[in-house]
Chains A and B, each alone.
Chain A
Amino acid sequence: MAELGRAALVVTLGLTVYALVAGAAAAYLGRRRLALSAQNALVAAFGSTLVASGVLLAALLRNDFSFTYVAQTTSEALPTAYTISAFWGGQEGSLLLWLLVLTGFAAAAVRLNRGWARDLVVWAVPVFAAVAVFFAFLVVAVASPFATQPAPVDGAGMTPSLQNPYMLAHPPLLYLGYVGLTVPFAFALGSLFSGRMDERWLVATRRWTLLAWTALGIGQLLGAHWAYEEVGWGGYYAWDPVENAALMPWLAATAFLHSVMIQEKRGMLRVWNVLLVILAFALSLFGTFLTRSGVVNSIHSFTQSSIGPWFLAFIGVVVAVSLAVVFWRLPRLRSPTKLESPISREAAFLYNNLLLLALCLAIFWGVVYPMISEAVRGEAIVLGRSYYDFFLRVFGLPLLLLMGIGPLVAWRRASVRSLLTTFRWPTGVALLAGGILLALGAGSSVPGLIAYTFSAFVAATITLEFVRGTRARKALGAASWPGAFSSLISRNRRRYGGYVVHAAIVLLAIGIAGSSAFDTVAEARLERGDTMTIADYRLTYESLDERLAANATEIRATLRVERGGRDLGTLEAGKNAYTVEQQVSNEVGIRSDRVTGEDLFVIAEQIDPDGTIYFRVFVKPLVNLIWIAGLVFLLGSLIALWPDAREQRRLVARTREVSLPATR
């Protein structure tokens, strides 16, 4: 079936080239049928890519090792779920996934928006197509997932660390995020090409950006949980270049989601918003480049390949063309209004944007510095954890504080006197929380104490907003308190969904501060029957067992855990020896306290033949708040993403008022 896969991808390439050429010609010449034909080509490209993806998936499930890709990424013994995840586990498959999601998103975005933003869609089609042409070209000519070979008896298997349930969802979510950022990019460029500088491109892409941003956020959290459980070094974020690759576009998209409100409310920051969208998209390409090119030495660089130069050239073209178009349209991008006061909500959003961008650029510099130093000095100098932690504190802590300040400041201008009154309660709560924590000994880490205090401040402002809003809705005639609460959210989903997301960030900040600034670590070499203590835990190494799983030999040490003299049961930690892959992985033992959110985290670093084990043990306070934050983040995003029928009706009515007919 490889021929069918190859043919389907050639068809996709042909369709995307047609959509690019015909779409650009139709937009420039104003030809209606040609424009529709180009749109159909994009939809058909999704169909043919779907066929190619089906062929690859079938080959994976049949363990058809005559497909080089299948032989390189799977084996007979690999469980079915991981065999499916091999689709995105290797370079060629993940590029095919990129193309599949891209053509799918493009087809959906075009279909959903052509009713009321048809003149924009016409120009967005060639932009979508241009990006799709690049990826179609890669999978056709440079890194085909349908290369064949004489079938070996068994495949090479999958990297053991990828054989984890989180890997079923983490990479596809990141790809949804990366590719999703193509939608605002295509509409932003479409808006620039067409000269339509009204706010329709923002409205057309807002939910897509939010969707991509949510997918990137959840994908990163799943990746962090994977690292925490699977990589086995005691942490969840190592500032690895590929982790940073996903964080950077997320930060740029976060900045955009805030600054877009300033354009919608005040008509300001038009150039800034377009530049943020271009930056977010370029960073998403850069992220894929980092993950797939193997240019930076990283735990994620499972594949070293020749696609790097192609990616770099494409990113260069994207940035150059985008900036040229922005420069060309600068006269039309001038804002009709200006910032009225440095104490206003738009000013707070602007400060938030500057901090987010500063953090993003600091991380970018940290990622590219080894490459630059290697090119200039012949030696790759890696900027370590302290570099990133420094900038996270310098830019992240003020960002946290701004999250509490922004929502309570008026648009346009606010008086200092009014602010003092507004912030009376949140400040009081924050100072009280800080004082109590200081008394409890949290002063051992000043950044941690500041993070907790700011988190209390933000939590208080969010609570205040919900309480006041619900009270106002009740006064306006809601039948009950739950009804008032529900009406509050449904009438302004973006605002209150945003507050829920802010609450998630507060949980995240508390979790990160607790688990990194106030954690405890202990190490010991134990024989069977020996005991070690850490914090108020007492661990006794009881036994060592070996058992056979489907694709690995599992070696597990059993430890009895006691706390304050109370028996908490046993915990297992050890290693997996993968037969086909000839690799060994750490399998950590984690005991979570559901009340305090604390984890006891055990690594069996070294297992000697006589059964003696060198253990490293951590106690991580509040670390589980990080994972709970993921659920809250998802809830907030869903609230904000939920379609708003009233808004849709208003937009359609507005479009009709200027006699802009829908596409037939």
Chain B
Amino acid sequence: MTIELLLAAILAIACVVAVALPFLREPEPESDSLAELDESERRRLELLEARDRALAGLKELEFDHRTGTISDSDYRTLVGPLRREAAAALQALEPRDADADRAEVGEGRPTGKRIS
């Protein structure tokens, strides 16, 4: 009975320590807030998904056309919209990259990228 109670107490203490660990490790953190995506980052994530979706779709279409699962005529009908979608997503993603590059150049820090 005593051993059982002792084991149960050890288990309970170990669990309490595990739960308290984040607070014990960082008693006074610089920041305790969860990093959230702001609206522009959410929009960017959506665009990245759209880009990847279109590119993956294009890749699959190309392969299915090569195998003969998709006919030439269907391929010609489908490839245009997919390319346009991928291009639109890439284009929408570009301004931020350009802005970031400009900001970095403006602040005079070396970017390691070629500015055209």
Residues on A lying within 8 angstroms of B by beta carbon are: 1, 3-4, 7-8, 11, 14-15, 18, 26, 30-37, 40-41, 43-45, 47-48, 51, 118-119, 122, 196, 198-199, 264-267, 407-408, 410-415, 417-418, 421-422, 465, 468-469, 471-472, 475-476, 650, 654, 657-661
- Inter-chain contact B29/A33, CB cutoff 8 Å: yes
A-B contact list, 18 entries, CB within 8 Å: A3-B5, A7-B5, A30-B36, A33-B32, A34-B22, A40-B21, A41-B19, A48-B11, A119-B36, A265-B57, A267-B53, A407-B69, A410-B69, A412-B78, A413-B74, A422-B71, A659-B41, A661-B35
B61 contacts partner chain A, Cβ-Cβ < 8 Å: yes
The 8 Å CB contact of B74, one of A15, A30, A407, A410, is A410
- Inter-chain contact A3/B66, CB cutoff 8 Å: no
- Inter-chain contact B19/A468, CB cutoff 8 Å: no
B116 contacts partner chain A, Cβ-Cβ < 8 Å: no
The 8 Å CB contact of B22, one of A14, A37, A266, is A37
- Inter-chain contact A415/B53, CB cutoff 8 Å: no
In the assembled complex, how far is the CB of residue B113 from the closest CB belonging to chain A, in whole angstroms?
15
Contacts of B18 in A (CB 8 A): 40-41, 43-44, 47
Contacts of B44 in A (CB 8 A): 657-658
- Inter-chain contact B11/A37, CB cutoff 8 Å: no
- Inter-chain contact B49/A198, CB cutoff 8 Å: yes
- Inter-chain contact B45/A198, CB cutoff 8 Å: yes
- Inter-chain contact A7/B53, CB cutoff 8 Å: no
Within 8 A of A (CB), among B1-27: 1, 4-5, 7-8, 11-12, 14-15, 18-23, 26
Complex-state Cα separation, A37 to B20, whole angstroms: 6
- Inter-chain contact A410/B64, CB cutoff 8 Å: yes
Complex-state Cα separation, A15 to B73, whole angstroms: 61
Contacts of A51 in B (CB 8 A): 11
User: Across chains A and B, which 5 residue pairs bring their CB atoms closest together, nearest first?
Assistant: A7-B8, A418-B71, A468-B67, A36-B22, A33-B22
Complex-state Cα separation, A657 to B46, whole angstroms: 12
The 8 Å CB contact of A31, one of B19, B32, B67, B71, is B32
Contacts of A414 in B (CB 8 A): 70, 74
Contacts of A265 in B (CB 8 A): 53, 56-57
Interface size on B, residues (CB 8 A): 51
Contacts of A26 in B (CB 8 A): 34
Contacts of A8 in B (CB 8 A): 8, 11
In the assembled complex, how far is the CB of residue A208 from the closest CB belonging to chain B, in whole angstroms?
20
In the assembled complex, how far is the CB of residue A334 from the closest CB belonging to chain B, in whole angstroms?
13
Complex-state Cα separation, A47 to B46, whole angstroms: 38
Complex-state Cα separation, A418 to B42, whole angstroms: 40
Contacts of A45 in B (CB 8 A): 15
- Inter-chain contact B53/A32, CB cutoff 8 Å: no
- Inter-chain contact B23/A37, CB cutoff 8 Å: yes
- Inter-chain contact B34/A122, CB cutoff 8 Å: yes
Contacts of A48 in B (CB 8 A): 11, 15
Are A465 and B69 CB-contacts (below 8 A) given A31-B33, A33-B29? yes
Complex-state Cα separation, A414 to B1, whole angstroms: 73
Complex-state Cα separation, A51 to B68, whole angstroms: 57
The 8 Å CB contact of B53, one of A36, A264, A422, A468, is A264
- Inter-chain contact A660/B74, CB cutoff 8 Å: no
The 8 Å CB contact of A417, one of B20, B60, B73, B81, is B73
Residues on B lying within 8 angstroms of A by beta carbon are: 1, 4-5, 7-8, 11-12, 14-15, 18-23, 26, 29, 31-37, 41-42, 44-46, 48-50, 52-53, 56-57, 60-61, 63-64, 66-71, 73-74, 77-78, 81
Contacts of A7 in B (CB 8 A): 4-5, 8, 11-12
In the assembled complex, how far is the CB of residue B34 from the closest CB belonging to chain A, in whole angstroms?
5
Complex-state Cα separation, A412 to B58, whole angstroms: 12
List the B residue with the shortest CB-CB distance to A6: B8
Contacts of A40 in B (CB 8 A): 18-19, 21-22
Other CB < 8 Å A-B pairs besides A30-B36, A418-B70, A658-B42, 12 of them? A3-B5, A4-B4, A30-B33, A44-B15, A47-B15, A119-B36, A199-B49, A421-B71, A468-B67, A468-B69, A654-B49, A658-B45
List the A residue with the shortest CB-CB distance to B15: A44
List the A residue with the shortest CB-CB distance to B67: A468
List the A residue with the shortest CB-CB distance to B1: A3
- Inter-chain contact B19/A18, CB cutoff 8 Å: yes
Give the interface centre of A26, A266, A414, A658 by most chain B CB atoms within 10 Å. Answer: A658
Complex-state Cα separation, A407 to B63, whole angstroms: 13
Contacts of A418 in B (CB 8 A): 70-71, 73-74
- Inter-chain contact B15/A654, CB cutoff 8 Å: no
Contacts of A31 in B (CB 8 A): 32-34
- Inter-chain contact B11/A658, CB cutoff 8 Å: no
- Inter-chain contact B19/A30, CB cutoff 8 Å: no
Complex-state Cα separation, A264 to B55, whole angstroms: 12
Contacts of B11 in A (CB 8 A): 7-8, 11, 47-48, 51
Give the interface centre of A11, A32, A410, A415 by most chain B CB atoms within 10 Å. Answer: A410
Contacts of B20 in A (CB 8 A): 37
- Inter-chain contact A32/B81, CB cutoff 8 Å: no
In the assembled complex, how far is the CB of residue B47 from the closest CB belonging to chain A, in whole angstroms?
10
Complex-state Cα separation, A603 to B57, whole angstroms: 55
List the B residue with the shortest CB-CB distance to A650: B52
The 8 Å CB contact of B19, one of A37, A471, A660, is A37
Contacts of A407 in B (CB 8 A): 69
Contacts of B73 in A (CB 8 A): 415, 417-418
Contacts of B14 in A (CB 8 A): 44, 47
In the assembled complex, how far is the CB of residue A274 from the closest CB belonging to chain B, in whole angstroms?
17
Contacts of A408 in B (CB 8 A): 69
List the B residue with the shortest CB-CB distance to A408: B69
Complex-state Cα separation, A232 to B22, whole angstroms: 57
Contacts of A1 in B (CB 8 A): 4
Complex-state Cα separation, A468 to B66, whole angstroms: 9
- Inter-chain contact B22/A422, CB cutoff 8 Å: no
The 8 Å CB contact of A468, one of B32, B48, B68, is B68
The 8 Å CB contact of B15, one of A15, A413, A465, A469, is A15
List the B residue with the shortest CB-CB distance to A655: B45
List the B residue with the shortest CB-CB distance to A122: B34
Contacts of B71 in A (CB 8 A): 415, 417-418, 421-422
- Inter-chain contact A4/B8, CB cutoff 8 Å: yes
List the B residue with the shortest CB-CB distance to A464: B69
Give the interface centre of B19, B64, B74 by most chain A CB atoms within 10 Å. Answer: B19
Complex-state Cα separation, A655 to B67, whole angstroms: 33
- Inter-chain contact B34/A35, CB cutoff 8 Å: yes
The 8 Å CB contact of A32, one of B5, B33, B41, is B33
Give the interface centre of A118, A412, A465, A661 by most chain B CB atoms within 10 Å. Answer: A412
Contacts of B49 in A (CB 8 A): 198-199, 267, 654
Contacts of A4 in B (CB 8 A): 4, 7-8
